[in-house]
Amino acid sequence: MASSSFHRLSSLLVFVGFLSLLRPCACYSRLFLNSSAGVLATSPAVATWYGSPGGAGSDGNVCNILALRSEPPFSSLISAGGPSLYKSGKGCGACYQVSCTSNGACSGNPVTVVITDECPGGPCASDPVHFDLSGTAFGAMAKPGQADALRNVGSLQIQYSR
């Protein structure tokens, strides 16, 4: 049993290490690397959510990160990106901090999400910047106990940074 768990963990670590060779990790804390950086500048965007309320989005994704979406380091905190984030596939694996303050259920705390899919039509294409978050990621922007209330809003004005 322990050998099986060790094998899965080592396989996951090898795979994540391989991915880091292909695309340098964009998920890091600028404040940790530069303690004088202060507060990160944010920009406005729109967020919606897809999939099940506590899930990792839909079953498919064009970035081929399906196997790891619900496991660390992603832990279902993923997003499909509108055209300005997806960038014809070049945005796959990019990390963003998203937060909301536009609703009473919003915590204002940033949540780090990874672009794993494309959101090609509707508001995703018409909004300048659009995050179509997994149900888990959308709910993570809420105050404790308010995730369902926040998801019921459906579409939110948010702030994001890279």
Model confidence band, residue 16 (pLDDT cutoffs 50, 70, 90)? very low
Closest CA to 42 of 50, 34, 30: 30
pLDDT at 29 over 80: no
The Cα–Cα gap between 96 and 117 comes to: 14
Complete DSSP assignment for the chain:
-HHHHHHHHHHHHHHHHHHHHHS------HHHH-TT--SPP-EEEEEEEES-TTS-S-S--TTS-GGGTTSTTTTT-EEEE-HHHHGGGTTTT-EEEEE--SSTTB----EEEEEEEE--STHHHHSSSEEEEEHHHHHHTBPTT-HHHHHHH--EEEEEE-
Q: Where are the domains of the chain?
A: 25-161
What is the arithmetic mean of pLDDT over 81-89? 95
Query: What pLDDT is attached to residue 153?
Result: 95
d(CA 77, CA 99): 13
What are 158's strand-pairing partners?
A: 45
Report pLDDT for 120: 82
% of the chain beyond a pLDDT of 70? 66
Report the pLDDT averaged over residues 103-124. Answer: 92
Class for domain 25-161, per CATH? mainly beta
Q: Is the dihedral of CA 12, 18, 22, 26 positive or negative?
A: positive
For residues 105 and 6, the model is more confident at 105
